A and B are shown apart, each in its own frame.
Chain A
Amino acid sequence: MLLIRCPYCQEERPEIEFSYAGEAHIARPLNPDDLSDESWAEYLFIRSNRRGLHYERWLHAHGCAQFFNALRDTVSDKFETTYKIGEARPQVKK
């Protein structure tokens, strides 16, 4: 069971307090009606499904109930970092 640092609570808490919430930094288009079917489908369905470092969202469901972002390695499962919604995505260390 992973330990996850909630950037709002500023604490490392066990994984059972959290739930996964999909890929991060996919903003809902401001004017969906202006989008072609293809672009809308891209927003709805297409995800990077990355092997390795992945920007993703987590919800501190049984804690502060805040959504936050994380950079996690999908191979090792290790969290590189977590950060608040609205903050710029951290650079991936090579």
Chain B
Amino acid sequence: MTINRKETHGRINRDKPIKFSFDGKIYSAFDGDSLASALLANGIHLVARSFKYHRPRGFLSAGSEEPNALVTFDRGQGRVTSNVRATTLEIFDGLVAYSQNNWPSLKFDIGAINDFFYMLFPAGFYNKTFMWPKSFWDKVYEPAIRKMAGLGPAPIDEDADKYASLYSHCETLIVGSGPAGIAAALSACEKPGRVILIDEQNEFGGSLLSTPNLTINAIPAWQWLKNSLAILKGRQNVTLLARTTVIGYYHDNFLGAVERITDHEKDINQNKARECLHRIRAGEVILATGAIERPLVFPNNDRPGVMLASAARSYLNRYGVVVGEKIALFTCHDSGYEVIFDLADAGISIACIMDVRDQVSDNIIAATKTRGLEIRTSTIVTNTSGKFRISSLHASRINDEKITSTEEIICDCLLMCGGWTPSVHLFSHSKGSLKWQENLGAYIPDTPNENTISIGACNGTFGLTDIMTEADSGQSKYTVDDMDFGSGIIAATFPTKSDPAKIKAFVDYQNDVTEKDINLAVREGLKSIEHVKRYTTTGMATDQGKTSNLNALQITAHAVAKPVQQVGLTTFRPPFTPTTFGALLGGKDGDTFHVTRKTPIDGWADDNGAIFEPVALWRRARYFPREGEDMLAAVNRECRATRESLGIFDASTLGKIEVVGPDAAEFMNRMYTNPWMMLKSGSCRYGLMLGEDGYIMDDGVIGRMAEDRFHVTTTTGGAPRVFRMMEDYRQTEWPELDVWLTSTTEQWAVIALNGPNARKLLEPFVEGIDLNPESFPHMAVREGRICGVETRLFRVSFSGELGFEINVPAHYGRALWEVLFKAGQQYDITPYGTETMHVLRAEKGFIIVGQDTDGTVSPMDAGMSWAIGKKKKDFVGKRSLNRSDIVAKGRKQLVGLLTDDPNIVLEEGAQIVADPNQPIPMDMIGHVTSSYWSATLNRSIALAMIKDGRALTDSDIYIPMADQTHKVRVSTPIFYDPMGERLNVL
């Protein structure tokens, strides 16, 4: 195995040799290597297969812009990450990684047959080819395409890592720690404000890490960097975050940054978060994010060994790795020469230097001659050869856009320098506008939308002298020994002698988009870059076109014969690089994914085998199964026990609002449909609340505790919106009303006792309230004490049985429950959950807002005209009750349903038709809203909303289901005890 290292070069730690595994084979490397540099050191250029054509691919870059070298990084079960860029993956002893998108192996990949059938895969091919037959899409085309095309496999195990998140605040945030970022940090740290300096790499320094030969203030670059970092580390007001990617730049200088904490560590530490999402609010943001070199677009420019010139420089100077033994350069920009000079000075053989331009500056010619090299001007690469790595290229001389001669040149590496693209991603996220810079052939920041400045290469400022001056607010305290950055031309399209239909000159490496695809898209009428992007998928891969966008734009502009500025620019969107879901969740997974509200009695239910269900953010006991019972059996038993003797139910989740003040009754009168002014203290009333549109919004029993005080209950899920709506009217429409509102949902625990023995159980524990039915009738409320604790005792019933709702301060809830449960044993007291509550109320035809109503149901539709205060001048929603469409015929009305076969329990949501024999699509006249087995009635019951349903009472309608059509009789929605006599049990 060749080890392609230069002992004289690199900042890797040669005292720390390490072993790692790639595709099951063990290799050697050094601490400080990236996976890419380590593989290149071992002579490995072939690392991936391309997305669509399965072409062999190597490393294009040495940074986060890498489109090709995606690998799967395996740290054990639950710790497998696919599509990791090998160029940014820090290596450690024992690292395991695999190549992707190949079968059976990287060198022999069956899918590479796609490369020979390329004519089948033009731009828009998915849209065009797989249109017919429609049914084939799910079963045939999509699975096949998914298997063939694609990236690494999605992880199958649950993520075993922990994640964290932090809010941070600073006066100055600097993104990027190249020379510009470091100089800016040195200035900023002199001021009193907090400074955060962030860099995505494991080391600070950016481009300086690859340019050790420069000097700043006569100090070699790496020494200057070390000195500067020592100063910054010594400052109390400076926070340095390495291995941290700013993924998005949002409003008011709010930025998201993901810090990778453990992926580079040899051992897994369960107590450490793998990644941390920093949410940073900054006073000022200094963007020093640098620039990305552009590839050149020529036939077979994707062979392993063809890479960006800047990458070769990084591999040599930073990692001490030589990327080839005979290296060629193809450039249109002066900056390519800096790289070739570094390589030549390191003693590496240069195969040839090809420059698109017909003239190169005298300085460069002289510097080239000094090194015994020559420049082929007006020369382009027209082809490359080599199976798994470039072995030769065709250098063609051009004259007036025509090829005049071609020569084959042997090489094992070809460097491309197509100029530089400023990294304006974050500036664009923040909605800053961009302007076209003709000499760079790129967009640079124009007008910022936030308090931000861009400095250095991301601002289109190149050359270390200019960068340092800009970073230092023009103070020029730095003297720099630097080769002039020079200039270049835009060279996006080149002449060719080959059949254009057979050429594959790649623009977007990751999505396998070629120049030909873009030209085809334009020929097919797509003129805007946004359309070209979506049709060809250029720039839509996980690298978001970091290396390809400008080339795609130039080629499109060329094809439509318009200036680039008129073709448009695609939008930059967060995240800057792919981000784990774990980081975004920041530890809020599993039980903490969202809040679970629990009542004070929840623990008892848990201890007693309750099955829970989520209701809004609450978890509520749904039923309490005994040994061997399923839900139906448990609910049947709970229902019977409640109707026959006594049931106990935790109603603590009911929303509760205390409405207090001299104008409390007037306020209630305006908020609810019912009349409240004449309701006596100590009485309750069912309250119906509408939206201003006249539709039912919420309901609940409301007790008048005193002239100026109401105890309002709401539905469990509706409490926050009811409270908000009440506050809205109180604050903004009726500020003259002297009333105030307090949410008391969590202050009261509520125990509902229902059944003929409810009073008997309660009586011995209550002080100060006469439970005698004459003095405490149905729909009354009293204050007193129970077991010595203050209580608001309601005599109400949502079951149709004699019922009480006992409100006690929340922390007494469970103790009282346990007292009642123990004493209730003499009545076979039975705890029941929400399912039994639903059945009992449905037997009585009581609606549940949100189940039997859906936001388009008026009180008249629900058969609740009785709840409307007819004499009231106004209340929320009243005017809408006269709207023409609300009083129109043909509205759906609430009815009961009894199936012809009493054993059939209908499906909730099932559609209803009048005539089951009509042709499909049938005319649907309504739907089932609630449906249960009623143990009490020994048959099924259902509620439904049906067009003009009340007029259909006692007639038959039909419910067609997949297996059979059910015949159903329309009935009153009250199935049980229509006269309400059971409330009066003594």
A residues bordering B, Cβ < 8 Å?
Answer: 1-3, 14-15, 21, 27-28, 31-33, 35, 37, 40-41, 44, 57, 59, 61, 65-67, 76-77, 85-86
Contacts and interface: CB of A to CB of B under 8 A. Distances in A.
Nearest to B874: A32
Interface stretch (B267-275, B726-734, B757-765, B977-985): B726-734
A17 B731 CA distance: 18
Interface in B228-267: 250-252, 254
B692 A66 contact: no
A67 B874 contact: no
A86 B724 CA distance: 19
A2 B279 CA distance: 13
Contacts of A65: 727
B252 A67 contact: no
Interface in B416-466: 431, 449
A59 B725 CA distance: 11
Nearest to B883: A37
Residue of A21, A27, A32, A85 with most chain B CB atoms under a 10 A cut-off = A32
B249 to A, nearest CB: 11
Contacts of B724: 59, 61
Contact of B692 (A2, A37, A44): A44
The 5 closest A-B pairs by CB, nearest first: A32-B879, A3-B252, A1-B254, A2-B251, A28-B733
B727 A32 contact: no
A76 B431 contact: yes
| Residue from the set B279, B728, B879 with the largest chain A CB neighbour count within 10 Å | B879
A2 to B, nearest CB: 5
Contacts of A31: 874
Given A37-B882, A57-B732, A67-B732, 11 more contacts: A1-B252, A15-B251, A27-B733, A28-B692, A33-B878, A33-B879, A33-B882, A40-B879, A67-B728, A67-B731, A76-B431
A87 to B, nearest CB: 12
B25 interface: no
Contacts of B731: 66-67, 85
B880 A33 contact: no
Contacts of B693: 44
B917 interface: no
B883 A40 contact: yes
B878 A37 contact: no
Contacts of A59: 724, 728
Contact of A1 (B251, B431, B733, B880): B251
B884 interface: yes
A15 B281 CA distance: 12
B873 interface: yes
A59 to B, nearest CB: 7
A32 B879 CA distance: 6
B735 interface: yes
Given A44-B692, A85-B732, A33 B431 contact: no
B252 A37 contact: no
Given A1-B250, A44-B693, A85 B727 contact: no
Contacts of B692: 28, 44
A59 B730 CA distance: 13
Contacts of A77: 251
Nearest to A31: B874
Given A32-B878, A76-B449, A2 B252 contact: yes
Interface of B: 250-252, 254, 279, 281, 431, 449, 692-693, 724, 727-728, 731-733, 735, 873-874, 878-880, 882-884
Nearest to A35: B879
A27 B732 CA distance: 9
A33 B874 contact: yes
Contacts of B882: 33, 37
Nearest to A57: B732
Contacts of A15: 251
A15 B251 CA distance: 10
A86 B250 CA distance: 32
A31 B879 CA distance: 9
A65 B724 CA distance: 9
Contacts of A66: 731
A30 to B, nearest CB: 9
A92 B897 CA distance: 59
Residue from the set A27, A31, A67 with the largest chain B CB neighbour count within 10 Å: A67
Contacts of A1: 250-252, 254, 279
B874 A40 contact: no
A57 B729 CA distance: 13
Given A1-B254, A40-B883, A44-B880, A67 B735 contact: no
Contacts of A67: 727-728, 731-732
Contacts of B279: 1
Contacts of B879: 32-33, 35, 40
14 contacts: A3-B252, A27-B733, A28-B733, A32-B874, A35-B879, A40-B879, A40-B880, A41-B883, A44-B692, A57-B732, A66-B731, A67-B727, A76-B431, A86-B735
Contacts of B250: 1
B450 to A, nearest CB: 10
B633 to A, nearest CB: 44
Contacts of B252: 1-3
Nearest to A2: B251
B550 to A, nearest CB: 27
B728 to A, nearest CB: 6
Contacts of A14: 254, 281
A35 B728 CA distance: 22
A73 to B, nearest CB: 11
A86 B733 CA distance: 10
Contacts of A35: 879
Given A40-B879, A85-B735, A33 B873 contact: yes
A21 B727 CA distance: 12
A49 B49 CA distance: 50
B882 to A, nearest CB: 8
B359 to A, nearest CB: 46
Contacts of A3: 251-252, 281
Contacts of B254: 1, 14
B720 to A, nearest CB: 9
Nearest to A30: B874
Contacts of A40: 879-880, 883
A44 B886 CA distance: 14
Nearest to A66: B731
Contacts of B883: 37, 40-41
Given A32-B879, A40-B883, A76-B431, A21 B728 contact: yes
A31 B279 CA distance: 49
A89 B727 CA distance: 21
